[in-house]
Chains A and B, each alone.
Chain A
Amino acid sequence: MAELKLNNNDAQIELAESAEYSDTIGKKLKIFWRRFRKNKLAVISLFMLIFLYMVAIFAPLIAPYDPDGTADDVMMADMAPSFHSYQSDVTGEMKTYAPNYFGRDELGRDVFSRCVYAGRISLTVGFVSVAIFITIGTVWGCIAGYYGGIVDNIMMRIVDAIMSIPTMPLLITVMALFKPSIYNVMIVLGLTGWTGIARFVRAEFLSLMKRDYVEAARCIGARDRRIIFSHVLPNAVAPIIVAATMGMASAILSESGLSFFGLGVQPPTASWGNMLMNAQELSTMVEAPWKAFYPGMLIFITVLSFNFVGDALRDALDPRLKQ
């Protein structure tokens, strides 16, 4: 095979790479990144998400105040945002206070610190519940799609049944029955969210099962389990990653929703959702809008970023869109 000269033309590099003999994971990543990079919005979103996760991880270093610590003086409640540090002697001695970037809430807690710590909760809930529902949904879809026939029929009818239950009322009922806590939120979101993935993986299996290499795997005497998990599933990984990314956005939204109704993460632990709940009186919007604005904005940015990244991943990973 003649060596193709590489230049900055993307198409030519791709051609050369797919035709050349060597092929490493690194090169695959390079090709993937080249496609992903074309979507500028997604790249910004990706960095945004990385930034948010870093902030969550390093929360104690970033937050200037204890997120649950009330102010030293009642006068400090609902203080407006400011970028200046200030001094006060309300405790009897002169003390310097760090700036309240996002202001203070009705108990005088620093909204910025609360937002930073709440990010830990919200992002963890998203991550863990997605991990749970991807696992359940993938295994469910694999089995239904692989065995087909009556097994498929029964399993998918169960999925249909679960899908026809409205999620929010179900979540509210379940959370009311059990003690509302961050762990229960993760488990409940995980146990209710998997149906979409199951359908998706099943559909993917139905089409992949017709490939010759699956027949070839049978011909060499491979067991069902091996065919499902080593031969077929790796070919369905790209759409699962996309679904997981999108699922992350919806899990964070659901968590916020539950917390807003007071059925999710319990105060004083902050989550973006329950910070919104705290700020729900009409007077807040007039007198201290920052209590609602910042957590709301963070939910909005996070969900939007996940969706943009999910879209771009689909475009970059889908082999059918290869030029």
Chain B
Amino acid sequence: MRIKEHPILKFNKVKKIKFVFNGREMEGYEGETIAAALHAQGVKVLGKSLFLHRPRGFYCAIGNCSSCLMTVNGVANVKTCITDLEEGMIVETQDGKGVIV
């Protein structure tokens, strides 16, 4: 799902980052958000809704709509559309509210 060449833009994807999504090891690039890295791997479903447990993906990608909430490194309700990917992150789909410690 990555753009290989673009007529206007150049993407500086230099440093690869390893992370874990639902127990699967994945790769993304430094500087991109968790949601973007997942989408690049074809992962569109980021969680389940509060009551009906319907699949949730991102919607606004600028941190406003809260449709992209996931559990990251054990912390629930992380806005993955604006949170940068970091080496070794443990990213999990979140079903409902998530557990707040």
Partners in one complex: no
Interface residue ranges, B against A (CB under 8 Å): none
